[in-house]
Structure 1
Amino acid sequence: MKIAEVSKRYGISADTLRYYERIGILRDVPRNPSGLRDYSEKNCNAVEFVKCMRGAGMSIESLKLYMDLFYEGDHTKGQRKKLLEAQRDTIRARISELEEAFTRLSYRIDHYEETSSAERELMA
């Protein structure tokens, strides 16, 4: 699959895919005889994983470390699991913060007419 097709399929720009390859997050992307990238299903699975982890808020640095460990082999499974657990904990904390913000926002909306005009302006 050409880079433009992968870009469209996963909603990641071709420049970002090249960047991921350049810094080692994506590896072993084969090239056709003309030198153009020709992503395999294995490469596409890696792209999908990377997109998921970035969507989950994983930093480039952590993602690079994870992928470096992945490419080293199965003996790094424990380290990789710890990275994923840390990201899960980060997401869990963020969800908690968002739930608190949602509760406060909902309260403000539900009681909006009860507040003074000065407070409404401050809280807008």
Structure 2
Amino acid sequence: MDLTIAETAERTGLTAHTLRYYERDGLMLEVPRSSSGHRRYSEGELGWIELITRLRTTGMPIRDVRRYAQLVRAGEGNEAERLEILCRHRDAVRDRLEAEARHLAAIERKIAVYLGEADNCH
């Protein structure tokens, strides 16, 4: 399967502009081109786009995504550094989730006060 940039944008929910930016900024691994020079995306590229979108959505800084992509492009032998980047990000996401859970609990307690301890909130 080879998708155009427009088809890839539709499949991923990103814009063509964002996909070009990802490539220009070193976030993509390698996007093959057709003989006419147009970008062609395969399932592998779609999987990578999904990963970096998730990393960005969960707050990984662009510089860390870029470094991770550099390491993957470099091939074997740097897996320990890749793991370190992902573990550090996982820990940051966990910390934010724990903080969000504490915030939610405080909101739930306040709702309970207003509802007189009954849970009638929709």
- TM-score over 0.5 (shorter chain): yes
Give the Å deviation of 1:110.
0.8
Structure 1 segments unaligned to the other structure (5+ residues): 115-124
Identify the residue that residue 99 of structure 1 maps to in structure 2: 101
Superposed structure 1 runs of 4+ greater than 3 Å apart: none
TM-score by length of 1: 0.85
Identify the residue that residue 109 of structure 1 maps to in structure 2: 111
Give the Å deviation of 1:33.
2.4
Q: Aligned letter for 1:59?
A: P
Percent of aligned pairs sharing the same letter: 34
Structure with higher RCO (Cα < 8 A, 6+ apart): 2
Identify the residue that residue 7 of structure 1 maps to in structure 2: 9
Identify the residue that residue 65 of structure 1 maps to in structure 2: 67
Give the Å deviation of 1:51.
1.4
Between structure 1 and structure 2, the one with the greater Rg is 1
Give the Å deviation of 1:27.
3.3
Structure with the larger helix share:
1
1:1-124 equivalence runs, <5 A = 1-112=3-114
Structure 2 segments unaligned to the other structure (5+ residues): 117-122
Report the aligned-residue RMSD. Answer: 1.4
Give the Å deviation of 1:14.
0.9
Alpha-carbon distance in structure 2 between the residues aligned to 1:65 and 1:53: 12
